[in-house]
């Protein structure tokens, strides 16, 4: 018999010592003497409530539950409380009659002390990390439906546990949650692997910290997930059953493997349920709100968190982590990416891994990706930041087949804050002047500046960088043809602009149907050049001009069009 009021460590020396992969059973009889229901307990340990702490009114039923992530399973049971160590767990919960006890795995009912206390024993047949173990008790109503797994004749029970009052007041929402869960499971089975466990439960709790927790086979959610239909949260926690529970981070530095994967699960669900455009917009909104925030992401730490603090940083651990999964997908293509993920889940099933394990696996599965895996992981996982991309038009000329366009793409991020160069495959999209037709190509950026020459079949109006949001970056859209009023004037392009003194300004007028007069005005209103032309290309010399701002006027009948030109020394 022992008491350890001032220590959270019980050291057990094994003789002989264990080897990697061995399993050992220890019997420790204990009683938890910690305090209950303090505010900090919402994030860890064992919690029990009779009253609503916000209103001091009675809850619909007493509630008790554990919450362990990251290191709080030790607060309610003796364990090796580290995510790399998975165990086979049996959890027995004794409750008064009328209460439902919930935990991981398969329940087996027993009765103790006549009809005054019942105990429910749960057996986990698959290894489980300590932070994913859970014990819950309250007077729950139970709703259930079966999901027909796509891999076999398995029928997986999907269960929802909620207070009886909520099962009546939010009956439609409860049915929605079960139906949505079944649909999401179908998406994840198609894109990942068959569901890796025998059942899936969701328990709605209040009071609870704002969010949810992916306990293996028994997710707990804040009650508002039901009341407000938190669809993305339901998808996130279900995706964790594959990315987080089946395959688990070995250290908290590697938490992005779990949270980035589940965040990407949100995108997969939206993509299949609502279409790729909505999925792209959703991820862009998460990027702007949670990662870029108000400072363009300059204050964000690396995804791989060596400090061990703020590991639940939404901007990096969740959102940037999800973008890393997405950038792997866009770099490899759908067929290769999903094949890699499926094999990754099979290879590491019921195990824990570090970031370097994933990198090594990727190198074996795809030995020659467009961006080497060492470079990919170094710049996105271990380093801070992201590229900031800017494009300039250098020149264009008409050819027999269309137009030859030269553009410069620069990475303009501050190299004192971010990496000076990110190696990325960048999609470019040139849009046609009138119809909006597009020409796409991809270039591999590996330098601070990259000049590319493109042959396109039309006069391009704009150049879009990364138009489909395949890369986590900030970017601009370069206007190649400026000052266009499509209903009133012909196509006009002025370039380069700004222009260095001594170069010719090239003006392209898209039609030859009438005489045009081009006048160049100085900012003080003095006329410095006048040219008569019938369309096509017109060259205006600048050797005699001083540096400054000028206005180009194009007279076409009774119409006049104006374009600002900047001459630099």
pLDDT tens per residue, range 509-538: 655 555 678 888 886 678 888 888 776 678
CATH topology of domain 492-568: Immunoglobulin-like (2.60.40)
CATH topology of domain 252-382: Neutral Protease; domain 2 (1.10.390)
CATH class assigned to 39-242: alpha beta
Contact 41, 209 (CB under 8 A): no
Give me the pLDDT at residue 549, please.
Answer: 79
Higher pLDDT, 259 or 4: 259
Pairing outcome for strands 351-353 and 58-67 = unpaired
Please determine whether the domains at 389-479 and 492-568 fall in the same fold group of CATH.
Answer: yes
Reported confidence tier of residue 504, pLDDT bands at 50, 70, 90: confident
> Which homologous superfamily is 389-479 in?
Aminopeptidase N, middle-beta domain (2.60.40.1840)
Give me the pLDDT at residue 131, please.
Answer: 97
How much is the average pLDDT of 540-568?
Answer: 80
Predicted confidence (pLDDT) per residue in 106-160, tens digit: 888 776 666 677 788 999 999 999 999 999 999 999 999 999 998 878 999 999 9
Contact 410, 389 (CB under 8 A): yes
Give me the pLDDT at residue 246, please.
Answer: 99
Give me the pLDDT at residue 535, please.
Answer: 60
Give me the pLDDT at residue 510, please.
Answer: 59
Give me the pLDDT at residue 214, please.
Answer: 98
Distance separating alpha carbons of residues 209 and 222, to the nearest angstrom: 7
pTM, two decimals, is 0.84
Residue 303 burial (C-beta neighbours within 10 Å; 0-12, 13-18, 19+): buried
Give me the pLDDT at residue 275, please.
Answer: 98
Residue 189 burial (C-beta neighbours within 10 Å; 0-12, 13-18, 19+): middle
Phi and psi of 93, rounded to 5°?
-125, 125
Higher pLDDT, 284 or 404: 284
Query: Distances in Å between the alpha carbon of 396 and those of 399, 506, 507, 522?
Result: 10, 9, 11, 26
Give me the pLDDT at residue 482, please.
Answer: 39
| Rg (alpha carbons) of the chain, rounded to whole number | 31
Give me the pLDDT at residue 566, please.
Answer: 82
Predicted confidence (pLDDT) per residue in 412-471, tens digit: 999 999 999 999 999 999 987 666 689 999 999 999 999 999 999 887 777 899 999 999
Higher pLDDT, 40 or 66: 66
Give me the pLDDT at residue 250, please.
Answer: 98
Higher pLDDT, 21 or 289: 289
Give me the pLDDT at residue 536, please.
Answer: 64
Per-residue pLDDT for 483 more than 60? no
In the chain, the percentage of residues whose pLDDT exceeds 70 is 89
Phi-psi domain of 563 (left: phi exceeds 0; alpha: psi -120 through 50; beta: other): beta
How much is the average pLDDT of 247-251?
Answer: 98
Give me the pLDDT at residue 569, please.
Answer: 82
How much is the average pLDDT of 482-494?
Answer: 47
Give me the pLDDT at residue 484, please.
Answer: 32
Predicted confidence (pLDDT) per residue in 49-78, tens digit: 999 998 999 999 999 999 999 999 988 998
Per-residue pLDDT for 324 more than 60? yes
Reported confidence tier of residue 487, pLDDT bands at 50, 70, 90: very low
Predicted confidence (pLDDT) per residue in 368-405, tens digit: 999 999 999 999 999 999 999 998 877 777 788 888 88
Helix (H) or strand (E) holding 223: none
Cis peptide before 16 (omega within 30 of 0): yes
SS3 assignment, position 454: strand
Q: Which two tokens stand for residue 513?
A: 């149907």
Give me the pLDDT at residue 557, please.
Answer: 66
- For the chain, counts of helices (H) and of strands (E): 10, 31
Reported confidence tier of residue 6, pLDDT bands at 50, 70, 90: low
How much is the average pLDDT of 260-282?
Answer: 98
Predicted confidence (pLDDT) per residue in 214-236, tens digit: 999 999 999 999 999 999 999 99
Whole-number mean pLDDT of the chain? 89
Give me the pLDDT at residue 492, please.
Answer: 63
Reported confidence tier of residue 302, pLDDT bands at 50, 70, 90: very high
Hunting for tokens 């997405």 — which residue is that?
326
Give me the pLDDT at residue 486, please.
Answer: 36
Higher pLDDT, 540 or 425: 425
> How far is C-alpha 378 from the chain's CA centre?
18
How much is the average pLDDT of 466-484?
Answer: 77
Domain boundaries, the chain: 39-242, 252-382, 389-479, 492-568
Give me the pLDDT at residue 233, please.
Answer: 98
Higher pLDDT, 382 or 42: 382
Give me the pLDDT at residue 34, please.
Answer: 59
């Amino acid at each position: 018999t022992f008491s350890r009021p001032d220590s959270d460590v019980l050291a057990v020396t094994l003789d002989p010592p264990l080897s990697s992969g061995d399993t050992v059973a220890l019997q420790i009889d204990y009683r938890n003497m910690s305090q209950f229901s303090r505010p900090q307990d919402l994030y860890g340990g064992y919690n029990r409530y009779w009253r609503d702490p916000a209103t001091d009114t009675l809850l619909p039923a007493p509630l008790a539950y554990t919450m362990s992530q990251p290191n709080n399973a030790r607060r309610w049971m003796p364990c090796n409380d580290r995510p790399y160590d998975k165990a086979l767990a049996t959890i027995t919960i004794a409750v008064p009659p009328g209460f439902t006890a919930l935990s991981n795995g398969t329940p087996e009912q027993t009765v103790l002390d006549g009809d005054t206390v019942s105990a429910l024993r749960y057996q986990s047949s698959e290894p489980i990390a300590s932070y994913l173990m859970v014990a819950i008790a309250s007077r729950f109503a139970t709703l259930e439906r079966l999901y027909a797994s796509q891999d076999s004749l398995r029928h997986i029970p999907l269960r929802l546990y909620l207070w009886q009052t909520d099962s009546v007041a939010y009956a439609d929402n409860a049915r929605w949650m079960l139906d949505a869960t079944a649909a999401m499971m179908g998406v994840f089975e198609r894109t990942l692997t068959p569901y890796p466990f025998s059942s899936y439960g969701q328990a709605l709790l209040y009071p609870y910290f704002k969010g949810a927790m992916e306990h293996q086979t028994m997710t707990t959610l804040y009650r508002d997930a039901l009341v407000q239909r938190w669809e993305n949260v339901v998808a996130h926690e279900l995706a964790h059953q594959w990315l987080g529970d089946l395959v688990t981070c070995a250290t908290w530095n590697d938490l992005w493997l779990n949270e980035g994967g589940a965040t990407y699960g949100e995108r997969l669900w939206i993509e299949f349920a609502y279409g790729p455009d909505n999925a792209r917009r959703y991820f862009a909104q998460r990027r702007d709100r949670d990662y870029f925030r108000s400072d363009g992401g300059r204050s964000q730490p690396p995804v791989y968190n060596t400090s061990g603090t703020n590991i639940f940083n939404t901007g990096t651990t969740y959102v940037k982590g999800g973008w890393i999964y997405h950038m792997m997908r866009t770099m490899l293509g759908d067929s290769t990416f999903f094949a890699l993920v499926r094999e990754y889940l099979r290879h590491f099933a019921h195990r824990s891994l570090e970031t370097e394990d994933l990198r090594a696996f990727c190198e074996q599965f795809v030995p020659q990706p467009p961006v080497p895996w060492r470079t990919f992981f170094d710049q996105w996982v271990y380093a801070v930041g992201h590229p900031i991309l800017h494009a300039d038009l250098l020149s264009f000329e008409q050819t027999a087949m269309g137009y030859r366009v030269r553009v410069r793409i620069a990475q303009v991020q501050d190299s004192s804050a971010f990496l000076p160069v990110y190696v990325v495959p960048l999609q470019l999209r040139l849009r046609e002047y009138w119809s909006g037709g597009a020409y796409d190509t991809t270039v591999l950026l590996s330098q601070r500046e990259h000049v590319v020459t493109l042959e396109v079949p039309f006069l391009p109006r704009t150049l879009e960088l990364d138009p489909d949001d395949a890369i986590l970056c900030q970017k601009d859209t370069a206007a190649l043809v400026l000052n266009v009023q499509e209903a009133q004037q012909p196509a006009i392009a002025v370039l380069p602009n700004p222009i260095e003194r001594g170069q010719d300004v090239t003006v392209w007028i898209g039609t030859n149907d009438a005489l045009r007069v081009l006048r160049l005005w100085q900012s003080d209103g003095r006329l410095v050049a006048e040219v008569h032309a019938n369309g096509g290309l017109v060259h205006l010399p600048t050797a005699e001009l001083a540096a400054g701002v000028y206005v180009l006027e194009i007279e076409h009948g009774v119409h006049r069009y104006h374009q600002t030109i900047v001459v630099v020394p």
